[in-house]
């Protein structure tokens, strides 16, 4: 930029000093800092996600108040992949983050498909054990994984307090495990997978099917999968075998089950190979030590007086 242009720019606001403004600037269009650019990008991303949501009016079955819930537009999520325990990875927006409804008035919370399924004695439990301790919280326009974890835990607490079905607690624990998987928190993922396993195991023998849209055979598979993911391969194989030996199971589910059995067989074969290698090393070291001992004994006998 030449001197004349600099001089011209410095006079941009000349003449308004009498109005109380004494401003000296060389440019109206300064470059934004990297921090400002990052903040703008984050804001744009939030706006984009917010555009994939809408507000839905919901009536609370516990206190009968009305409130707004954040809901994901039907075609907004884009499926990326599926895990073997039915967790779906999405792009654009994660619908799991919005799967819990919370009444801001009384604190009642549950998975959205369960929200209106309250019995009178459960309503009384909410009023006596949840509402007096509830502190209203605003979660913002969009939710992230940490917000989702808090909301799932509040739903799980409600299920526990009102003595809901084992399957309801199990499904909440499974979805909490999935949220911790997104955070790469293996310790908490394992904790909630174990809790989900116990709940589905109980539900299998005590509840009617379908359970959260899953028929008997799908739950059998899921129990085997949860045993696999928590390291109990023996019980996993037992449940997988039940699926494979049942004639009425779909081929799709059988194929998925075979994949998991093959995975376990590969892991066990690898472990057996590693164990065999360790045993060979120990044997070789023991034989070497025995040979060295014999040699020392032979040479020492030569020099005995």
Q: Are residues 151 and 120 in the same domain?
A: yes
Structural domain includes residue 68:
yes
pLDDT of residue 274: 84
Q: Do 257 and 223 fall within a single domain? A: yes
Beta bridge partners of 59: 66
Domain check: are 94 and 200 in the same one? yes
Based on the fold, state whether residues 126 and 272 are members of the same structural domain.
no
Residue 257 has pLDDT above 70, yes or no: yes
Q: Per-residue pLDDT averaged across 193-219, rounded?
A: 97
- DSSP-derived secondary structure for 105-156: TT--EEEGGGTT---HHHHHHIIIIIGGG-------SS--HHHHHHHHHHHH
Question: Which domain-ending residue is among 209, 236, 253?
Answer: 209
pLDDT digits (tens, 9 = 90+) for 271-297: 888 877 666 565 556 566 665 655 555
Residue 305 lies in a domain: no
Number of structural domains the chain divides into: 2
Residue 18 lies in a domain: no
Domain range for 122: 51-209
In the numeric block, which tokens belong to residue 205?
Answer: 């023998």
Q: What is the mean pLDDT of residues 42-71?
A: 87
């Amino acid at each position: 930029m030449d001197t004349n242009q600099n001089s011209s720019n410095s006079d941009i606001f000349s003449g308004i000093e009498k109005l109380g403004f004494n401003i000296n600037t060389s440019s109206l269009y300064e470059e934004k800092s990297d921090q400002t650019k990052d903040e703008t990008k984050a804001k744009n991303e939030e706006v984009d996600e917010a555009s994939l949501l809408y507000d839905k009016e919901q009536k609370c079955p516990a206190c009968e108040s009305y409130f707004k819930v954040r809901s994901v537009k039907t075609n907004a999520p884009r499926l990326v992949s599926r895990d073997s325990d039915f967790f779906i990875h999405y792009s654009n927006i994660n619908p799991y983050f919005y799967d819990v409804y919370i009444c801001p008035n009384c604190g009642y919370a549950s998975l959205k498909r369960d929200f209106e399924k309250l019995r009178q004695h459960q309503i009384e439990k909410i009023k006596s054990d949840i509402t007096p301790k509830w502190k209203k919280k605003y979660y913002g326009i969009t939710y992230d994984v940490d917000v989702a974890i808090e909301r799932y835990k509040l739903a799980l607490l409600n299920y526990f307090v009102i003595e809901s079905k084992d399957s309801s607690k199990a499904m909440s624990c499974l979805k909490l495990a999935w949220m911790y998987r997104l955070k790469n928190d293996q310790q908490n993922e394992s904790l909630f997978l174990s809790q989900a396993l116990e709940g589905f195991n109980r539900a299998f023998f005590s509840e009617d099917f379908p359970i959260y849209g899953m028929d008997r055979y799908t739950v059998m598979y899921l129990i085997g999968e949860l045993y696999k993911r928590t390291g109990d391969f023996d019980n996993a194989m037992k449940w997988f075998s039940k699926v494979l030996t049942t004639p009425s199971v779909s081929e799709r589910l059988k194929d998925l089950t075979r994949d998991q059995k093959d995975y376990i067989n590969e892991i066990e074969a690898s472990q057996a190979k590693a164990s065999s290698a360790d045993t060979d090393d120990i044997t070789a070291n023991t034989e070497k030590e025995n040979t060295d001992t014999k040699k020392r004994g032979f040479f020492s006998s030569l020099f005995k007086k």
